[in-house]
Structure 1
Amino acid sequence: MTATPTSSPAPLRDWRATAAAGTTVLLWASAFVSIRSAGAAYSPGALALGRLLAGSLALGTLLLVRREGLPPRAAWPGIIWSGLLWFGLYMVVLNWGEQQVDAGTAAMVVNIGPLLIALLGSRMLGEGLPRRLLAGMAVSFAGAAVVGLSMSGHGGASVLGVLLCLLAAVAYATGVVRQKPALRHGSALQITTFGCLVGTVACLPFSGALVSDAADAPLSATLNMVYLGLFPTALAFTTWAYALARTTAGRMGATTYAVPALVVLMSWLLLDEVPAPLAVAGGLLCLAGVAVSRTRPRRSPEPARPSPRSCSRTRPGCRRG
């Protein structure tokens, strides 16, 4: 008697990875709004350090509770690189850039990063470049270009903001590609916790600015900084790592193209910032790119073999049973 096969756990894992990616996108979208709000009271370096301190404290506590310990030696190169580039450089430069442009524009420009992730992933990780992924990237990249066009005529400060956001995108993409191999050797919590700690150490030179700014900052700005550390950093970076370990860097990066549209909505509701019509059009293009990149080609059905009963001598290649 043949045993009935049990259901595969793959759909459950896929559901969890999708939920993790969605959590990351939502919280990272809120981060652009919180950075814009807290940035009025905190300098870029001070805000990055305060955010990383809060995130490291939360992640370290959770790591101790779960008793996961230190990651294996093989994971450390990826942890150090992602900590320096993504947790450290990216956060400082992004904070600076958001002081020059509005939250929605910053999110849209930074999100050329997924295109860089796909290219770097193909080059450094040996990941493929499916046509649908490339097509989606192209559409979303066009959205970022539209955003840049919408900023023309805003003066040198806006140009500086775009350049800073572009630098943030490069740091973000390189950090992600460096993080991916580390996830083969350690858990998402381990890789995120120690990456955050590396970024915190790199930002320690801003300690004096953090103390000075905190003394004069309103409570709302400080709470925004703590929020950034607990949710868009500690939680969202962990859910990102969890999902990244279960898919390619290119496909995971393409998911974040949904961030700009959410940022535009949040900044309008919470900050009263309404981007220019061209910026909104760019955001819609970014969303269209996500839709294209996340779809998979349908498998063509195999041609059915003729039934022995329907065989006739006039049909070539058909044999009677």
Structure 2
Amino acid sequence: MIQSEIQWLQKAANDLKEVAQVAEDVSILIQKLAEDIKGKQHILDTYTARLLKADVRQGDDGDFYVSGLSNDDITDDVKMQDLQRRLRDVRKTCHQFDELDKLQSESARLIKKADKSADPLTTTPRRVFDTTAVTDQDTVRPRITDLLTTQDGLLIVVDYDNKMIKYVPRLLSTGHTLPALRLKNEPLCMSFLSDGLLAVTAEHKTIYLVEVKSQLTVKSQFKTRRQCYGVTDCPDDVTLLVSCWINRDDPRHASVDVIKRDGSLVRTITDGSTLNGFTNVFKVFAPDDHVLIPDNDQHCVYRVELSSGRLVDTLKHLT
């Protein structure tokens, strides 16, 4: 659930960034246009004032010439056509005033849209899934412990009590059958890996690697040294990052481990002594070279450097 929300928030942040970039581009364009208009308006005012003092005459060649202006202002051989060209530019400038108004309105609209998108109170659900729908194999009412979406818009949920992973392909009402994969152990948490497989942690120190196509198929499974809950890809796209939590059978402090796809331990990123004894770590995320570790009991999120295990910072006061 947390991973799906973070993915949604990341997408919303990217959308806001794009809107902000468009608004910034529009603002720059407006500024340049205003400067251009200001310059052309100055030219118009200058030549209008000078023409009031000028003497316009027609030469033997039929062209019009302007005299009566100082040499610093305009030379005697400047033709009337040049002034007419400048007047046409002024007409274009007037048109640009209209375009400026349109750009200002569009900029205001984009800024308002960005502000509205940033306000969580204005968001509304785009799609509703009924995860209480049962399959023919269900023995008890479903209990969802994790969910995520596929690239083609399907929802995959973990049903702990029925030991299943289920597809939710569309809006369903209770009583419909869901495509499901039954597992030997109760599934806990899941995450898509870089190769497209779905990694699913389960009770009894088990991790399943599931192929997600028209149906769900277990490609392999392996045991781990400790009970894992959260799972995700490491940046090397080879090893896995898992969170190990405390339970009655394994009372040691919680840890975050790097493991191979056969369950063998590569190294422990951090443990209770490193982070002042954090306890229940459920989910774990690995953007870039950092690990985000939410601690259920301490009500905070740790950011740890993946390569060294160094605690970078702590986000507190999440209660």
TM range (shorter): under 0.3
TM-score (normalizing by structure 2): 0.18
The structure whose residues are more often helix, as a share, is 1
TM-score (normalizing by structure 1): 0.18
Question: More relative contact order in 1 or in 2 (CA 8 Å, sep 6+)?
Answer: 1
